Amino acid sequence: TPDVRPLVAGNWKMNGTRSSLDQIKAISEGVRGGLYSKVDALICPPATLLYVATALCTDSPLSIGAQDCHQNASGAHTGDISAEMIADCFGTYVIVGHSERRTDHDEDDALVRAKAEAAHAADLTAIICIGETEEQRRKGETLDVLKRQLAGSIPDGANAARTVIAYEPVWAIGTGLTPTVADVEEAHAFMRRELSERFGEQGSTMRILYGGSVKPSNAKELMAVSNVDGALIGGASLKAEDFLAIYRVY
């Protein structure tokens, strides 16, 4: 998208211990120096590594974020973390509505929207994930699903600076399968129209990432699709070398 700074983001999911901090260090060094400064880079490690990861990235262009937050600011919610806690650890982004959260924890669009609102209240950038299941695609429901998820998951006051959309077909996550370039193009063009209609100029410049089995070998082709403003990367973000190879397609 013209005038939009792409974002290459890694989601480590429930992977990573202190020994993985070497990978964060290597990624931080790999994006340092401004050589590729047209692109933003982000890693979302598990919450246990958040604070130490941000401490490693002081003065680095690599941003650190979390993988989820609770919709409330504080209180009796054992095991959850708030957006404010993420900000307190110097995290600047949070993923909300990842399909694994939607499935494992029964999260629906209304909850995802509330989480995005909590993220915005803490001045975090919310990466709001949407995407159709295999069955929905087979039935030809993809665009209807995206329309419904966009309408339900994004807060009304969302702006391009603090909101990123990640289109992740559920059947492409962790499977090695990716949609065709034509399918990605159709989905992203559709989302762009929906966002522009609802949010005007903010919607025209809101970043829309593609996610689902992005690898060094297919990143160039996928990132070149119009209205694809970067990637959300699971498996391939765990190794600095792979993450940086994707980052460098820009």
Active site amino acids: 98, 168
Residue among 27, 50, 128, 233 that touches ligand PEP (CB under 6 A): 233
Q: Which is nearer to ligand PEP, 169 or 203 (CB)?
A: 169
Rounded to whole angstroms, the Cα distance separating 203 from 35 reads 29
Decide: is 212 part of the binding site for ligand PEP (CB under 6 A).
yes
Q: CB under 6 A: which stretch of 69-77, 139-147, 184-192, 207-215 binds ligand PEP?
A: 207-215
Dihedrals phi, psi of 142, to nearest 5 degrees: -50, -55
Neighbour-count burial of 245, counting CB atoms closer than 10 A to its CB (0-12 exposed, 13-18 middle, 19+ buried):
middle
Does 7 interact with ligand PEP (rule: CB under 6 A)?
no
Question: At closest approach, how far in Å is the CB of 25 from ligand PEP?
Answer: 22
Task: Specify the stretch interacting with ligand PEP by CB under 6 A; choose among 31-39, 82-90, 153-161, 228-236.
Answer: 228-236
Q: Which of 81, 173, 187, 206 binds ligand PEP (CB under 6 A)?
A: 173
Q: In this structure, what DSSP letter does residue 200 have?
A: T
How far apart, in whole angstroms, are the C-alpha atoms of residue 171 and residue 148? Answer: 18
Three-class secondary structure of residue 233 per DSSP: strand
Among the listed residues 164, 213, 229, 247, the single contact to ligand PEP using CB under 6 A? 213
Q: Is 234 in the site for ligand PEP (CB under 6 A)?
A: yes
Distance CA 84, CA 92 (A): 10
37 among the known binding-site residues? no
Taking the C-alpha atoms of residue 94 and residue 169, their distance in angstroms, rounded to an integer, is: 19
The partner residues of 192 in beta bridges, in order of sequence, read none
According to the annotation, is 213 in a ligand binding site?
Answer: yes
Q: Name the residues that contact ligand PEP, by CB under 6 A.
A: 11, 168, 173-174, 211-214, 232-236
